[in-house]
Structure 1
Amino acid sequence: MTENHKRRCVSYPDDEDIISNLPEDFINPILERLPIRDAVRTSILSKKWRYRWTTMTRLVIDYEFSRKFINYASYRHNGFIRTTNHIMINHKGPVSKFVLHLPKNIAFDSFQEVDQWMVLLSRKNVKILNIKNSNHKIYRVPSSVFSCQGLRRLALRNCIFKAPVEFQGFPNLEFVFLMKVDFLANLGGTVINLPQLKRLKLNSCVNVNNFNIKSETLRTLRVIRCPDAMLLRLLHSERLNEVCLQESIKNVLGVERFSLAMMLSKLPRIRYFSVDGYFLKVWHKLSVKTFNLCSL
């Protein structure tokens, strides 16, 4: 074999790791795109990777995460709780987004562990919070969540939402989606100030008449299957340009006694006004210039 045909081998130092030496701005987005269990498992790769995952700014403990424990009956509760505890206790730094799915196949006695996770989260300046409770027990949002003043997006499912008496509001909250949320019947008229709120969606909630909010910036309002909602109270923002109501006016005539014309007069910037058949049946004699139907 001639010299020109000899294979050339390029050797690198054994300890050189191109990926590990990438800047943090590159590594964190890569980790955050992995399922969270896989991201945590990178800690066994080397000493450099042992604590990489602990600075991720997005923690998504979703259905895919909890599904790993469901098939093992003896490991369901302990495995889910222990693994999530490990993530929450060892994580360092701020969290911009936190998603928590509470599975129906795992028994929670008092949600004590979940409350502790919320305490830890409240110290991390969370911006986006999404609690999806699929458990057969309803989860009561603890007071620590109401101390998350940096929140910009809040989504809750199958929860009890009762703000502490001293709670003033969320100054930065822009988007709220609440599904199967119970606001309880004894809020005592507490007003929740949401000065930056732009989008509010309520679906299948109860005791909505006790959800007394103040927001002059609200632009999108969707109220679905919330028969006890006090609509006039929710329609107070003159910036509203999109409204959708479905199965949410059963108590309107008996409680608020207002006409469709009165409602629309409060919405000078309305562009999309969408209602269901029940709404039309009640006010079929009233005419509006632009009227759209929605079926969600």
Structure 2
Amino acid sequence: MDVLEGDDRLSSLPDDLIHKIQSFLKITDAIGNSVLSPRWRYIWTSMPYITFSTEDFTTLREFSKLVTHVLSRRNNLTEVHKVKLSFRGKASQVFVKRIMNYAISHNVQQLNVVCLHEKDIELPLYLFSSQTLKHLSLTMQSGKPHMHIVCSHCITPTSTWELPALTTLVLHSVTLCDNKADKCIDIFLECVNLKNLTLKRFKTNGSDGFSISHPRLSNLTLENGSFNVKDVNVVAPQLENLTIRAGGIEHIMISAPALVSLLYSGYGSFHLSTDGVRLKE
């Protein structure tokens, strides 16, 4: 079929499809597309997907201005389905708080956060108090430009997270227990609907073990745990799949009568104690 001169098939697409296309672009590029035609002028303001990254700017001041521009001009009647934030600096920065508050107030369902830093940071409770969040991913990465390896520093939660709708949680480089600071918090306690939990490069300070106790957890993955994590205690009556890869874990106590699959790969000795486990062949 011949395409008529001036025919703009892209602009004839429905809004949700254009939003999906725009979601793969930097937010600055999505805004820049507003000059393509009158149809595109304001369409970025109703996108349910928002991606911010400080790595696209030479200074945090410039990035903060962009955040203000985007959030102040966005259609406030449109909910936010997914937010991706990659930032360097402290979690207490104004733009971090503003993005989190905006996402939570607009019923965000999926939140992916990458912290680019070269030292441990703390994530306070006020950043995570959503009633609608279903998927949360937190990653600590090296703050040096163009280095995308996970560093030895960690995210340290300062209190239990109250996320009643959360079903999937992925934590990359997190301190689960900090006894040196008299902190050993069960951060998953109030995530009552949590079903899928993945912990990568997790560690504890002042303790060689930790416990995971959750009534609805069905899938648990532990990867590359710190060498100081020797003992893990899992109490999960609905747990079906448990995966442990590498790390220095020597002993794991499982109370999971519904367990179907256990996958372990690593080195050194490994001792398993079970309570009511019935693995299927």
Query: Would you call these one fold, judging by a TM-score over 0.5?
Result: yes
Helix, strand or coil: the match of 1:192? coil
2:133/2:165 contact within 8 Å kept: yes
- The aligned length equals 247
Task: Show CA shifts across 1:64-87 (max 9, x none).
Answer: xx4432xxxxx4222222223322
2:244/2:263 contact within 8 Å kept: yes
Percent of paired sites with the same residue:
21
Distance 2:116 2:32 in 1: 26
How many Å apart are 1:201 and its aligned residue? Answer: 1.3
Sort the Cα spacing of 1:21 and 1:245 in 2 relative to 1 into closer, same or farther, 3 A.
Answer: closer
Sort the Cα spacing of 1:170 and 1:221 in 2 relative to 1 into closer, same or farther, 3 A.
Answer: same
Task: Show CA shifts across 1:215-251 (max 9, x none).
Answer: 323223325314447622x34234332331532536x
In the alignment, is residue 277 of structure 1 matched against residue 274 of structure 2? no
How many Å apart are 1:30 and its aligned residue? Answer: 2.6
- What's the counterpart of residue 173 of structure 1? 166
2:213/2:235 contact within 8 Å kept: no
- What's the counterpart of residue 150 of structure 1? 132
Sort the Cα spacing of 1:143 and 1:245 in 2 relative to 1 into closer, same or farther, 3 A.
Answer: same
1:118/1:145 contact within 8 Å kept: yes
- What's the counterpart of residue 286 of structure 1? none
2:109 to 127, 138, 161: 127
Alignment-mate amino acid for residue 263 of structure 2: F
Distance 2:189 2:221 in 1: 17
Q: Map 1:215-234 to 2 at 5 A.
A: 215-226=215-226, 227-228=228-229, 231-232=232-233, 234=234
Distance 1:211 1:95 in 2: 34
Choose between structure 1 and 2: higher helix proportion: 1
2:167/2:194 contact within 8 Å kept: yes
How many Å apart are 1:129 and its aligned residue? Answer: 0.8
Distance 2:192 2:220 in 1: 14
2:68 to 85, 92, 95: 85
Q: Map 1:29-108 to 2 at 5 A.
A: 29-62=20-53, 66-69=54-57, 75-92=58-75, 93-103=78-88
TM-score, normalization by structure 1: 0.68
TM-score, normalization by structure 2: 0.71
How many Å apart are 1:114 and its aligned residue? Answer: 1.1
Helix, strand or coil: the match of 2:158? coil
Distance 2:82 2:12 in 1: 26
Choose between structure 1 and 2: higher strand proportion: 2
2:197/2:217 contact within 8 Å kept: no
- What's the counterpart of residue 240 of structure 1? 240
Alignment-mate amino acid for residue 131 of structure 2: Q
How many Å apart are 1:157 and its aligned residue? Answer: 1.8
- What's the counterpart of residue 201 of structure 2? 204
Sort the Cα spacing of 1:83 and 1:182 in 2 relative to 1 into closer, same or farther, 3 A.
Answer: same
Task: Show CA shifts across 1:239-272 (max 9, x none).
Answer: 332331532536x5xxxxxxx6xx3564542323
Sort the Cα spacing of 1:211 and 1:98 in 2 relative to 1 into closer, same or farther, 3 A.
Answer: farther
How many Å apart are 1:52 and its aligned residue? Answer: 1.1
Distance 1:124 1:229 in 2: 41
How many Å apart are 1:121 and its aligned residue? Answer: 1.5
How many Å apart are 1:132 and its aligned residue? Answer: 0.6
2:91/2:121 contact within 8 Å kept: no
Alignment-mate amino acid for residue 175 of structure 1: T
In the alignment, is residue 24 of structure 1 matched against residue 15 of structure 2? yes
